A = this chain, B = another copy of it.
Amino acid sequence: MSTPTTRIVLASRPQGEPTPANFRIEQAVLPDPGGGQVLLENVYLSLDPYMRGRMDEGRSYAAPVAIGAVMDGGTVARVIASRHPGFAEGDWVLAHAGWQTHALVDGASLRRKLDPAVAPVSTALGVYGMPGFTAYAGLHEIGKPQAGETLVVAAASGPVGATVGQIAKLRGARVVGIAGGAAKCAHVAGELGFDVALDHRAPDFAERLRAAVPDGIDVYFENVGGAVFEAVLPLLNDFARVPVCGLVAHYNERGRPPGPDRLPELMALILSRHLTVRGFIQRDFPALYPAFLADMGRWLAAGAIAYREDVIHGLEQAPAGLIGLLAGRNFGKLLVKLV
């Protein structure tokens, strides 16, 4: 038997905002698994902001996707055939199997098996996976919110921001979330339980943020950049920590914005306020992953951490999904259901 797969490849590199023409859908046929290999049916594909960086040549923290290659991406998959002793037909696995319906992978490359009894398998791409671990690691290693401190996070209805705020609340911090639009803000202040939710589209957003943090900001978890960062900067307290895991507001930018040049001002603020600004990705902290799985599994089982998924259907919807994600049009963790 050989297995047909449908896949989306990178057709061309975007100039600024990606368009559907940057992607191409293709058919292929996968051979049967060789020794150590596993044949997967991808059930959920994760769409994440980092994918924009992979579409560019040598700009992001990971190697770019080559023109004509399958787009990178995490998936939740079922094993449909295995020649690896660790995996059997029917197993649920977390894979990095890309934008395709089926994939042939080395069993050794699979990240972990998933137990649907612990949490819905889709969460392995969100709150219980890379975005959740990004939140957990960034807070544990860099942000270190203390009881009574104030934390601010943007994209607060997204999977990283939502998890950041809820973990910080569990640690006793006061949490201000920023999101785009009334529906997201209602979710952030409601289901997610943040102390304050602010709409960054409000014309007086900077003033509202100032009013929302009467004691200043001790942790700003940076995942967007842009106008939110500008509003945050003057409000940072001495010894504030700024974990930087994303700058999605800038991913579609081309070239340098006009002046004045605020780089010296940022450095002067880092000095005068004793700030820590540190870039990271979750893979920087592999030793912390078991603790994350244990803590988050417990929190999810107890209902202490809420999450929201935004599921679109069909692989052919993935390009539009990513384009929308970069514009903030998703509401919760964006997943493509492939089956």
A256 with B267: CB separation less than 8 A: no
Check A2 for interface membership: any CB of B closer than 8 A: no
Instruction: List chain B residues, Cβ under 8 A from A273.
Output: 61, 279
| Segment at the interface with B among A65-73, A185-193, A245-253 | A245-253
Rounded to whole angstroms, the CA-CA distance of A63 and B193 in the bound complex is 39
**A266 is contacted by which of B245, B258, B263 (Cβ under 8 Å)?**
B263
Instruction: List chain B residues, Cβ under 8 A from A275.
Output: 277-279
Interface centre among A225, A245, A272 (most CB of B within 10 A): A272
Rounded to whole angstroms, the CA-CA distance of A226 and B244 in the bound complex is 23
Rounded to whole angstroms, the CA-CA distance of A330 and B57 in the bound complex is 46
Check A120 for interface membership: any CB of B closer than 8 A: no
A246 with B262: CB separation less than 8 A: no
Rounded to whole angstroms, the CA-CA distance of A268 and B265 in the bound complex is 16
Rounded to whole angstroms, the CA-CA distance of A239 and B222 in the bound complex is 18
Oligomeric state, in number of copies?
2
A279 with B284: CB separation less than 8 A: no
**A279 is contacted by which of B256, B270, B281 (Cβ under 8 Å)?**
B270
Instruction: List chain B residues, Cβ under 8 A from A258.
Output: 259-261
Check A271 for interface membership: any CB of B closer than 8 A: yes
**A59 is contacted by which of B61, B253, B267, B272 (Cβ under 8 Å)?**
B272
Smallest Cβ distance from A63 to chain B, in angstroms?
A: 12
Check A205 for interface membership: any CB of B closer than 8 A: no
Check A19 for interface membership: any CB of B closer than 8 A: no
Smallest Cβ distance from A33 to chain B, in angstroms?
A: 35
> Number of A residues contacting the other chain (C-beta, 8 Å)?
43
- Can you list 30 A-B contacts (CB < 8 A)? A59-B272, A61-B273, A226-B264, A229-B267, A244-B267, A246-B271, A247-B264, A247-B268, A250-B264, A250-B267, A253-B264, A255-B260, A256-B260, A256-B261, A257-B260, A257-B261, A258-B259, A258-B261, A259-B260, A259-B261, A263-B265, A266-B266, A267-B277, A270-B277, A274-B278, A274-B280, A274-B284, A275-B277, A276-B276, A277-B278
Check A60 for interface membership: any CB of B closer than 8 A: yes
Rounded to whole angstroms, the CA-CA distance of A246 and B274 in the bound complex is 11
Rounded to whole angstroms, the CA-CA distance of A257 and B267 in the bound complex is 13
Q: In residues 125-174 of chain A, which contact B (Cβ within 8 Å)?
A: none
Smallest Cβ distance from A253 to chain B, in angstroms?
A: 7
Rounded to whole angstroms, the CA-CA distance of A114 and B118 in the bound complex is 64
Closest to A251 in B: B268
Closest to A273 in B: B279
With contacts A256-B262, A259-B256, A274-B61 known, is A222 near B267, CB below 8 A? yes
User: When each residue 278-312 of chain A gets 1 if its CB lies under 8 Å from chain B and 0 otherwise, what string results?
Assistant: 11110010000000000000000000000000000
Rounded to whole angstroms, the CA-CA distance of A270 and B225 in the bound complex is 12
Closest to A239 in B: B284
**A274 is contacted by which of B229, B256, B279 (Cβ under 8 Å)?**
B279
Instruction: List chain B residues, Cβ under 8 A from A279.
Output: 269-276
With contacts A244-B270, A278-B276, A279-B274 known, is A261 near B264, CB below 8 A? no
